[in-house]
């Protein structure tokens, strides 16, 4: 493959990555807005009523979790019936969006036989998935 063709493949992958990322982030914003509206209006029962939220603003995440008793790590997934947890569901779409976009770029590179870039994008996807799962945790 000549350098001009490789440059075109890279630009196409970058544009595809960016386009997919923009749309997935938009979906995340809509999901987050809808679930926050459900939480704020009281349509979904919540362990922490929205009126009490300002009392916790000054706390760091670990102090907040300890004080309120909210789940940490992936344990939040068991509390999706709680409006105060559900309101944040859209935020998980942001890191998922970059992972999906990286995987799509790897597939695009592979389809166009740009093996090295495909492997790099696939490695990025693997690192993002490992980071999200918490398999490797720092101390």
- Coil, strand, or helix at residue 70? coil
Split at pLDDT 50, 70, 90, the class of 122 is: very high
Q: Is residue 43 in some structural domain?
A: yes
Q: How many residues does the chain have?
A: 139
Helices (H), the chain: 3-40, 61-68, 83-86, 93-111, 115-133
pTM as predicted = 0.72
Q: Is residue 139 in some structural domain?
A: no
State pLDDT tens for residues 29-52: 999 999 999 999 999 998 888 888
Number of domains in the chain: 1
Split at pLDDT 50, 70, 90, the class of 14 is: confident
Instruction: Please give the Cα distance from 43 to 40 (Å, whole number).
Output: 8
Q: What integer is the mean pLDDT of 114-126?
A: 93
Split at pLDDT 50, 70, 90, the class of 138 is: low
Q: What integer is the mean pLDDT of 8-33?
A: 88
Residue identified by tokens 């990555």 is 17
Instruction: Please give the Cα distance from 133 to 39 (Å, whole number).
Output: 27
State pLDDT tens for residues 55-114: 998 999 889 888 988 777 788 888 888 888 888 888 888 888 889 999 999 999 899 888
Residue 73, burial from CB neighbour count under 10 angstroms (0-12, 13-18, 19+): exposed
What residue numbers bound the domain in which 44 lies? 3-133
Q: Is residue 138 in some structural domain?
A: no
Residue identified by tokens 């996807």 is 125
């Amino acid at each position: 493959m000549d350098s001009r063709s490789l440059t075109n493949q890279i630009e196409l992958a970058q544009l595809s990555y960016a386009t997919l990322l923009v749309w997935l982030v938009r979906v995340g914003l809509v999901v987050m807005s809808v679930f926050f509206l459900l939480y704020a209006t009281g349509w979904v029962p919540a362990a922490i009523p929205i009126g009490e939220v300002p009392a916790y603003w000054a706390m760091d995440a670990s102090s907040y979790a300890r004080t309120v008793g909210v789940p940490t790590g992936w344990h939040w997934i068991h509390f999706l019936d709680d409006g105060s947890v559900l309101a944040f569901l859209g935020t998980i779409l942001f890191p998922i969006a970059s992972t999906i976009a990286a995987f799509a770029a790897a597939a695009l590179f592979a389809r166009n036989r740009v093996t090295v870039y495909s492997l790099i994008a696939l490695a990025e996807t693997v690192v993002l998935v490992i980071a999200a799962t918490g398999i490797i945790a720092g101390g």
